[in-house]
Amino acid sequence: MISDLDSLRSELDELNQRISQLLQQRFQKASEVALLKKSQGQELYDPLREKEMLDQLLQDIEESNLRKALQTCFEEIFKQSLSYMNKK
């Protein structure tokens, strides 16, 4: 039983590392978007784009609780991304 738990925790650790790497890449791209938008005099926050991204990300998730959880996660990622972009 303990080895199963250890194995699952190890898999979660690996997934956490991958998520961290992907988020770092996402924030880097968000910085590039911010620089481009600023150079073109555009607003950083685009609520229509955020809604499009969220809709696309959640469209195939049928389980209600999972959908709500992921929606909350992505909304927080978008919020933190905007905050990060505003500091660039």
pLDDT of amino acid 56: 98
CATH number of the domain enclosing 75 = 1.20.59.10
pLDDT of amino acid 2: 74
Residue 58 makes CB contacts below 8 A (sequence gap 6+) with: 67, 70, 71, 74
Closest CA to 83 of 30, 35, 29: 30
Distance between first and last Cα of the chain: 48
Helices (H) and strands (E) counted in the chain, each on its own, are 3, 0
Given a contact cutoff of 8 angstroms between Cβ atoms, the answer to whether 30 and 78 are in contact is: no
How many domains does the chain divide into? 1
Does residue 61 sit in helix, strand or coil? coil
pLDDT < 70 stretches in the chain:
1
- This prediction has a pTM of 0.89
| Residue 15 belongs to domain spanning | 2-86
